[in-house]
Structure 1
Amino acid sequence: MRAITYDKFGGADVMALTDHPEPHIGPDVMVVEVRAAGLNPVDYKIREGYLEGLLDARFPVVPAWDVSGVVVKAGLDTPEFSVGDEVYAYARTDVVSGGTLAERVAVPVRTAARKPSSLSHAQAAAVPLAGLTALQTLRRAGVGHGSTVLIHGASGGVGSFGVQIARHLGADVVGTASARNHDYVCDLGATHLEYGDGLVERALEARPHGYDAIIDFAGGASLDGTVALLAPEGVVASIADPRAASEFGGHYIWVRPDAHDLAELATLIDEGHVRVELAGTYPIENTADAYRELEGGHVRGKIVVTV
């Protein structure tokens, strides 16, 4: 089968479209014919070797974990799914090797759910990692009805889901983003704040009593003003800055594959509470260009490769 692979750490140019062995499956795993694969920043951080020691890579690596496609072979113990089912998954395994940028991929049942019926495969492939990250982070921070929430990186792949899910939970949401994404963040349901100098003052002007939860989906200096902005008993959660836990007593999040959470996201999407924003789609032959766009930053929504 065709697959994108790399056999050493490096930039986008180490990837190539190659002939790769068919996936092997165990009893609780199924083979999914890939229609689309979603790209995430963690993919290129792994490819560049930055996560070596945290995640073991077995070369040649097929990158990416997000997938939407059709079940073509079921394992011995996969009663949840049948051949022909349309599924989507955050198909992360303990070893980085057989990813989703291929014609077929092995998908553990624990990582998969039925594809949202209202989405195309390209749209569905944009959901798993980012949507799960947003859902699990908000849940860990205790965001609910009446919460006042500040979301850093509100226009990005994860932040876009975070704003919409928080609003659905009944929270009052303020989101930081660049000026060019003002209308987009407001359309998602948040009050927009431009990041940069003066952010603390702008955030306090927007919500003078502070924030019950500060959610960091951006990293960098986002949490620098946390002490001034956090309400008494407020909670900090970040996917990018360990200070959320070590300095502010909150949560440093690493997203988990979870079939039940994916099914919950599918329901939210099909009921119209969450929409999916695609920044671009690329054919598998142009995967390197897709990653270059992602690595350039300032992407609004998600980038997807179609297979």
Structure 2
Amino acid sequence: MKAISYARYGGPEVLELTEMPEPRVGPDSVLVKVRAAAVNPVDWKCREGYLDQILAPVFPVVPGWDVSGVVVRPGAAVPEFAAGDEVIGYVREDFLSRGTFAEYVAAPVRALARKPRNLSFEEAAGLPLAGLTAYQVLHKVLRVKRGETVLVHAAAGGAGSIAVQLAAHLGARVLGTASERNHDFVRSLGGEPVAYGDGLAERLRGLAPGGVDAVFDSVGGDALKASATALVSGGRLASITDPAVVEYGGHYWFVRPDPQDLGHLSELAEQGVVSVHVSETFPLERAADAHRLNQEGRTRGKIVVTVDGDTAGGETSGVR
């Protein structure tokens, strides 16, 4: 099968299109024919070795944790899926080796859920990691309730854009930091846009004089510091980027695969509560370009790599 892999840590140039054996399918796994795989910041961070202390590489590494595709063959102990089922997955293991930037992936059943029927494969590929991150932080860490004010950083990004939609669905007032060009996009998601940069704390006080009840941080640094000062007494703070959040009494969260959570997200997508914006797609052989673009950190929504050739590479896909 064709796959993208890297044999050493480094920049996007270490990614190569290679031929690899089709993965074996264990009893608790499912062989999935990959249709699309989303790019996430963690992909390039792994590729450059930043997560070496917690995720040991087994070179060559096939990158990618997000996938949408079609079941080819379920494992012997998997009654949940059958050949032909359309699925999505957050396919993460405790080491780096067998990722989703390939024609096929053997995915643990614990990582999968049924694909939302109303989303394209490209859109659906952008849901698992970003969606699970937003869902788990809002529901399990911040425990957002109706009538509260929630601040979402990087509100036009992958996880942030879904967090805005989920928080609004919970009945919260949502403030979202974003660059000026993305303010209308944040409004379309149900949020009130707030400009980044110097003076953020003052702008937040102007919008929420009584403070915000909860903060979803995916930026860290100065934005995290400003967030801590904007909280009401007893407010909740969570970061998916900066472990220093604990110094402000908050929680650091690393998303985990959960088929129930992912299944609920799929249902919310089918109900129209959650949409996934795909800003650009690339064919598998141009995965290095997809990594470069994601690493710039200015993407609205998601960047997706297509494996089945259904979408022209390097152009916007035309999906939401």
Which residue pairs with 2:74 in the alignment?
A: 74
Quote how far apart the aligned CAs of 1:212 are.
0.6
Contact 1:154–1:217, Cα closer than 8 Å, also in 2: no
Deviations along 1:57-110, whole A, 9 cap, x unmatched? 100000001000000011011011011100000010111101000000010000
Percent identical residues: 54
Instruction: State the alpha-carbon separation in 2 of the partners of residues 227 and 14 from structure 1.
Output: 39
SS at match of 2:248: coil
User: Contact between 1:278 and 1:301, CA under 8 Å: does it hold in 2?
Assistant: yes
Cα offset, 1:219, TM superposition: 2.2
**Residue 203 (structure 2) aligns with:** 202
Which residue of the partner structure matches residue 294 of structure 2?
Answer: 294
The answer for the alignment partner of 1:191 in structure 2 is 192
- 2:218 and 2:228 map into 1 onto residues whose CA distance is 18
Matches within 5 A, 1:92-241: 92-139=92-139, 140-241=141-242
2 CA distance for matches of 1:173 and 1:296?
26
- Is the Cα–Cα contact under 8 Å of residues 137 and 237 in structure 1 kept in the other structure? yes
Deviation, 1:150, is: 0.8
Q: Which residue of 1 aligns with 2:283?
A: 283
Equivalent in the alignment of 1:33: 33
Q: Which amino acid aligns with 2:297?
A: G
The answer for unaligned runs of 5 or more in structure 1 is none
**Alpha-carbon distance in structure 1 between the residues aligned to 2:97 and 2:20:** 12
- 1 CA distance for matches of 2:293 and 2:118? 27
Does the CA-based 8 Å contact 2:228-2:237 persist in structure 1? no
Determine if contact 1:149/1:211 at 8 Å carries over to the other structure: yes
Q: 2:225 and 2:250 mapped to 1: Cα distance? A: 14
The DSSP-based 3-state class of the residue aligned with 1:208 is coil
Could you list the structure 1 runs, at least 4 aligned residues long, displaced by more than 4 angstroms after superposition.
none
CA contact (8 A) 1:30 1:78 kept: yes
1:5 maps to what in 2?
5
In structure 1, what residue type is equivalent to 2:234?
A: E
CA distance in 2, matches of 1:10, 1:243: 26
Quick check: 2:134–2:162 contact (8 Å CA) kept in 1? yes
Q: Conserved in 2, the CA contact under 8 Å of 1:37 and 1:306? A: yes
What's the secondary structure of 1:158's corresponding residue? helix
Is contact 1:279–1:303 with CA below 8 Å preserved after alignment? yes
Cα displacement string for residues 120-169 of structure 1 (whole angstroms, at most 9, x for unaligned residues): 11110011000000001111111121111111111111100000000001
Compute the displacement of 1:225 (Å). 1.6
Alpha-carbon offset, residue 228 of structure 1: 2.4
Q: Give the Å deviation of 1:296.
A: 1.4
* TM-score, structure 2 normalization: 0.94
Superposition deviation, residue 251 in structure 1: 1.0
Task: Structure 2: give runs of 5+ residues left out of the alignment.
Answer: 308-320
Q: In 1, distance between residues paired with 2:28 and 2:160? A: 32
Query: What is the RMSD computed on CA atoms of the aligned residues?
Result: 0.8
